[in-house]
């Protein structure tokens, strides 16, 4: 594991990726880094940020600025959190625990993936503020059992991923020999042997300390091993509908978030069925290739939210990216791949370093923009054409606030 001095040489989130590429087997790195089919949406996510520029103000007293944000009745130190990432334990030893511990230490939200290799009950002990993201089956009995399990473990926020009715077409995984569960074969063995740090520090260490890792929280498939020649996992949930979400809303008493929203009409439906927030996301370009970059539809969805919180996910790499998403109407931002690379490189210490780097960037950028608060951001951005961005407005035509706002659902 890199020493603290080595971590000091990592100066941005992007610096973690090439190190992780060297540490991880090619199949594992490809699983994390790749998108679907041609990677068009993966590239579009980054391009959308490049098409937005800043118009800073100068000689503004910004000495009392703060990156702290209120979310669901709690104060966090930054306007961003750690997104759910399935199979994180393949990237680093007990990576979900590392992510949870780092999030707790840094006081930012962490969302545990339903495809985690660590039981949700253990993660909540490491970080009592953890959120849980669910991949529901098509059986309401199984949905109800999972919702009740999450509630019994004392989670307060449930995130339903809505944009995966079937798996995305990730051809790069087939080429790398990656399947779920992983099927032992000579190619994977050679891949592992050529990456001894991962083989010893992650794979063998996991096997020696906790035995064969399993998908612990994945609906009816909980308990399916990561490596198996015969086991299967069901990834088909194409009959799920808003009626199921409404049914969950009646059963789940905590905060409810719907992840994977790209259409304003879906945001409206989410609000109408009682969701507390939506996550504007195209799954990091991992599902439908050619899906619109979330940043481009964020303002319209923020208009439709009408009191419901709006979160953003997909393509964040810099503090300026966080600020652009907030300026366009997001109340909060979630970041995925870079934090998992950090966990793979240096465990919880790596994630803490990544969180700190991003928080410092956000703080510095606020000052350079002449902003004393996040509510002032919308006046500091322009489109690449040079035209000022249109202010967000509600249906009465009044400007919408862009500060992190409403977070508590009325019971």
Each residue's pLDDT tens digit in the chain (411 positions)? 446 788 989 999 999 999 999 999 999 999 999 999 999 999 999 999 999 999 999 999 999 999 999 999 999 999 999 999 998 999 999 999 999 999 999 999 999 999 999 999 999 999 999 999 999 988 899 999 999 999 999 999 999 999 988 888 888 887 877 777 777 778 888 888 999 999 999 999 999 998 888 888 875 445 677 766 655 566 678 889 999 999 999 999 999 999 999 999 999 999 999 999 999 999 999 999 999 999 999 999 999 999 899 999 999 999 999 999 999 999 999 999 999 999 999 999 999 999 999 999 999 999 999 998 888 888 788 766 554 455 444 434 455 444 444 343 332
Confidence (pLDDT) at 177 = 74
Task: Provide the pLDDT for residue 182.
Answer: 72
Would the pTM count as exceeding 0.75? yes
* Tokens (6 digits) for 98: 């590392």
95 vs 24: CA distance, rounded Å: 13
Nearest to 162 by CA among 294, 76, 259: 259
pLDDT at 227: 65
Active-site residue, 255 included: no
Report the DSSP pairing between strands 131-134 and 111-112. Answer: parallel
Question: What b-and-e string marks burial along 368-398, b requiring 16 or more CB atoms within 10 Å of the CB?
Answer: ebbbbebebbbbbbeeeeeeebeebeeeeee
Q: HSE (CB half, 13 Å, CA atoms) of 26?
A: 13
Please report the pLDDT score of residue 222 as a whole number: 54
Whether the Cβ atoms of residue 259 and residue 281 lie closer than 8 Å to each other: yes
Contact assessment for residue 277 and residue 267, using Cβ atoms and an 8 Å cutoff: no
Q: Exactly one of 195, 214, 283, 331 is catalytic; which is it?
A: 283
Domains annotated for the chain, with CATH where assigned, are 4-170+234-382 (3.20.20.70)
Instruction: Report the chain's C-alpha Rg in angstroms.
Output: 21
Q: Which two tokens stand for residue 88?
A: 């994180």
The DSSP code for 315 is S
How far is residue 154 from each of residues 34, 148, 151, 245, 253, measured CA to CA in Å? 34, 10, 5, 20, 11
Strands (DSSP E) found in 124-254: 131-134, 157-161, 214-215, 224-225
């Amino acid at each position: 594991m890199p020493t603290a001095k080595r971590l000091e040489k990592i100066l941005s989130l992007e610096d973690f990726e090439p190190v992780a590429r060297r540490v991880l087997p090619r199949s594992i790195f490809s699983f994390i880094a790749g998108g679907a089919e041609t990677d068009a949406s993966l590239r579009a996510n980054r391009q959308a940020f490049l098409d937005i520029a800043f118009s800073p103000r100068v000689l503004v007293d910004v000495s009392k600025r703060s990156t702290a944000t209120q979310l669901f009745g709690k104060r966090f130190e930054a306007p961003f959190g750690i997104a759910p990432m399935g199979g994180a334990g393949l990237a680093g030893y007990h990576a979900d625990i590392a992510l949870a511990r780092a999030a707790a230490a840094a006081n930012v939200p962490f969302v545990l993936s339903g495809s985690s290799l660590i039981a949700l009950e253990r993660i909540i002990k490491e970080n009592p503020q953890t959120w849980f993201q669910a991949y529901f089956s098509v059986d309401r009995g199984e949905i109800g059992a999972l919702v009740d399990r999450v509630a019994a473990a004392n989670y307060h926020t449930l995130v339903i991923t809505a944009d995966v009715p079937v798996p995305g077409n990730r051809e790069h995984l087939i080429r790398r020999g990656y399947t779920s569960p992983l099927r032992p074969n000579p190619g994977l063995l050679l891949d592992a042997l050529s990456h001894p740090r991962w083989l010893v520090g992650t794979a063998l260490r996991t096997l020696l300390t906790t035995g064969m890792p399993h998908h612990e929280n994945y609906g009816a498939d909980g308990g399916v091993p990561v490596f198996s020649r015969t086991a299967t996992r069901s990834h088909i949930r194409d009959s799920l509908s808003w009626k199921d979400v409404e049914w969950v809303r009646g059963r789940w008493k905590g905060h409810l978030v719907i992840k994977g929203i790209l259409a304003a009409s879906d945001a409206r439906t989410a609000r109408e069925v009682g969701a507390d927030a939506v996550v504007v996301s195209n799954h990091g370009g991992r599902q439908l290739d050619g899906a619109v970059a979330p940043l481009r539809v964020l303002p319209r969805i923020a208009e439709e939210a009408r009191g419901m919180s709006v979160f953003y996910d997909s393509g964040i790499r810099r503090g300026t990216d966080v600020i652009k998403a907030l300026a366009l109407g997001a109340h909060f931002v979630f970041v995925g791949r870079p934090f998992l690379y950090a966990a793979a490189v240096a465990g919880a210490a790596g994630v803490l370093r990544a969180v700190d780097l991003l928080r410092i960037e956000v703080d510095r950028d606020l000052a350079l923009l002449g902003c004393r608060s996040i509510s002032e951001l919308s006046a500091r951005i322009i489109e690449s054409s040079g035209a000022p961005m249109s202010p967000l407005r509600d249906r009465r035509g009044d400007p919408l606030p862009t500060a992190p706002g409403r977070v508590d659902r009325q019971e």
